[in-house]
Amino acid sequence: MSGAFRGAGRVFDLSLGQLLWSRRTIFMALVLAVPVIIALVERLLTVGGITAMRVNDVRVGGATIFGLIIWLCLRVVVPILGVFYGTALIADEVDDKTITYLFTRPVRRAAVLLGKYLAYLVCTGLVVLPAIVIVYFLAVPFREVPGTFGALAIDVGLLALGLAAYGAVFALVGAVMPRPAVVGLVFAFGWEQAAMLMPGYLSRLTIAYYLQALVPHAIPSQEGVAALLQALIGEVPSPVTCVAALLITTTLALALGCRVVERREYVLEQ
Amino acid sequence: MTKRTRLFLGVACGILVAGLGTGLVAAYVGGFQNLVVIGSNGPDELAYVPQDAQMVAYANIREIMSSDLRQRLRELQPASPEAPRRFQDETGINVETDIDYVLAAAGGAGNDSNQDRPLMLARGRFDTVRIEGLLRERGGAIEEYRGKRVLTQPGAQFSVAFVEPDLAAVGNLAAVKRAIDTKAGAVADVTGNADVMRLVRDADNGSAWAVARFDTISTRLTGGLPPQLPPIEWFVVSSHVDGGIRGTMYAETRDEASAQNLQDVLRGMMALARLQAGQQADLSAFVDSLELSGQGKTVTLGFSVPAEMIDKLAAKRLARPGAPSEPLPPAQQPAPSTPAF
């Protein structure tokens, strides 16, 4: 077992630089630059005495804007990063026909997935989380920091948990399926969105269900049929249930992914 | 791992640690204040306020009187403001110069109406000997109560006790005596009232603030309140006075549904105000400043009356026929007059 972790460490060391300086990370940085710019503009306008944002004719403060950005990150950014990075962990090596080189190293196959997954976590975590901290300090007036820091800490933890859960699930998808990015996008933006609106227990088969229940910010002003449906059938699980469900999902998906990688015969197209 | 990867990791970790560390320290200090270890637990004068107080209000008179806003308001007043002079005649206290801050409190609408009477505690500089002498001249009574001299107007409608050399307790005789009892420990003080103190700690950061159980306000309001208004339990207002006024009103409702209803009501009122502001440009800055938010059982409404708006109102007032042609110069304060107890 210790040999597997040592092997995972080596793969992590190798993969971190590759992930960090890839085109995906440039894309991620561009996506995350948007909330930073929004927060910066809001701060500049506020300093200039101009109301930056209004919803239903009501002035929206910095803390509310930060809450909206967190919602956007959890609903859109984190699943997208999970799909693009998670599915690529194994699939990219297969597509590039370089998986043979990894599998011929004296490390267990599972260690390859584990090491790459850890590299994904560090890479995305150290880009997303500092960006969110910067957004927080730009959007929220410093006098409100003592009262809202708890929410920031929860947000940072939630984003890390979301990245871990989505990454593990999509790493499994990448290890099992051909064209995993398409499957991942359908899961994240098709299945999850639809299941959240359906009555019954289907929503429990999504990651978003558990992540949303942990968000400390109020849900952004809801209108329309989707909001009505969510309000009617909505049910909020306890924080302990949510954290446990997310950790179990992450562990289970990773374990299954490792098992698949250990056993599967990857046939490289000629 | 390449050098640039290590550099990136170092910078990213640095931002994360610095941001979370700063927030943690700020929250720690804020939390300490809330836990009353080193920070504010409200004014010291709360030790004179009985535990059953349903309304506590504070005003930093010195800060308000020396503010730009006060100077602007002076320009709106006629040459010789009558109310402050009358107060000075009756009490011997010049509000503008003698008082630093005031704390007022009132009980609920209980059975004992004497205990429900408001009490005012004023911290400042008082010529106690002069005030006592004046009171005697007017036939007032002086009695000792728990080692404090309580001065009572003829008819016992109004009493003053200098409970500390620079602290006056003002109210009816029962309220003043109860304040003295409370300080002596015979009656529990309001710092033991968790509901009031929780809100006082939140509010105690402005030039003026008030915390009140809403039913105590609503019963005192003439005409009452609309029955459609959702049930509000506590009401807090806190404001900073400088060139203008910035403040926050905070209502705590019975449950989350009531808070949502209250938000809806306020949103409607704000929409109406916005319509009115369309016809009166002077009000638009105030209406624009309104910021409504809510969480759980609480609804918060932020507002700001900017200095420019007060200037415009002042200019309008001065332009009216019959208004003072020139503003009252700051040096032309009302001359100290003989107190008339």
- Judged by CB atoms closer than 8 Å, whether chains meet at B27 and A145 is answered as yes
**DSSP-assigned beta bridge partners for residue B295:** B298
Percent of chain B with pLDDT over 90: 3
- Judged by CB atoms closer than 8 Å, whether chains meet at B26 and A142 is answered as yes
pLDDT band at A167 (very low <50, low <70, confident <90, very high): very high
Cβ of A197 under 8 Å from any chain B Cβ? no
- Judged by CB atoms closer than 8 Å, whether chains meet at B19 and A57 is answered as no
Write the single-letter amino acid at B86: R
Which two three-digit tokens encode residue B169? 């307790």
Does the residue B61 lie in any domain? yes
What is residue B129's predicted lDDT score, i.e. its pLDDT? 80
> What would the pLDDT profile of A49-108 be if each residue is shown by its tens digit?
665 566 555 556 677 778 888 888 888 889 998 998 989 888 888 888 888 888 888 888
ipTM confidence score: 0.81
What is residue A265's predicted lDDT score, i.e. its pLDDT? 82
- Cβ within 8 Å of B, A 106-135: 122, 126-127, 129-130, 133-134
Which residues from chain B sit within 8 angstroms of residue A219, using beta carbons?
Answer: none
Given a cut of 60, whether residue B113 has pLDDT beyond it is no
Which residues from chain B sit within 8 angstroms of residue A136, using beta carbons?
Answer: 19, 23
Does the residue B338 lie in any domain? no
- Judged by CB atoms closer than 8 Å, whether chains meet at A57 and B270 is answered as yes
Does the residue B88 lie in any domain? yes
Distance CA A67, CA A53 (A): 13
- Judged by CB atoms closer than 8 Å, whether chains meet at B1 and A133 is answered as no
What is residue B33's predicted lDDT score, i.e. its pLDDT? 44
Q: Which helix (H) or strand (E) holds A233?
A: helix A224-233
- Judged by CB atoms closer than 8 Å, whether chains meet at A20 and B5 is answered as yes
Does the residue B52 lie in any domain? yes
Q: Are strands B141-145 and B119-124 parallel, antiparallel or unpaired?
A: unpaired
Does the residue B326 lie in any domain? no
pLDDT band at B87 (very low <50, low <70, confident <90, very high): low
What is residue A237's predicted lDDT score, i.e. its pLDDT? 78
CB B150 within 8 A of CB B143: yes
> What would the pLDDT profile of B254-307 be if each residue is shown by its tens digit?
888 888 888 888 888 888 887 877 777 677 778 877 888 777 788 888 888 877
Q: Write down the mean pLDDT value for chain B.
A: 76
Q: Which of A215, A200, A218, A217 shows the shortest CA–CA distance to A246?
A: A215
Of B32-46, B58-72, B293-307, B319-333, the one with minimum mean pLDDT is: B319-333
Range from A87-96, A227-236, B115-124, B305-314 that averages highest in pLDDT: A87-96
Does the residue B92 lie in any domain? yes
Cβ of A12 under 8 Å from any chain B Cβ? no
Average of pLDDT values for B4-11?
Answer: 88
Q: Concatenated DSSP letters for A130-146?
A: HHHHHHHHHHS-GGGHH
Which residues from chain B sit within 8 angstroms of residue A156, using beta carbons?
Answer: 20
Q: Which domain holds residue B143?
A: 3-321
Q: Are strands B119-124 and B99-107 parallel, antiparallel or unpaired?
A: antiparallel
Average of pLDDT values for B91-110?
Answer: 77
pLDDT band at A223 (very low <50, low <70, confident <90, very high): very low
Which residues from chain B sit within 8 angstroms of residue A142, using beta carbons?
Answer: 26
Query: How many structural domains are present in chain B?
Result: 1
Distance CA A83, CA B288 (A): 42
Phi, psi for residue B76 in degrees, rounded to 5: -80, -20
Cα distance from B293 to chain A (closest Cα, Å)? 8
DSSP for residue A238: -
Cα distance from B288 to chain A (closest Cα, Å)? 7
Q: Domain spans of chain A?
A: 2-263
Tokens 């003053």 sit on residue: B160
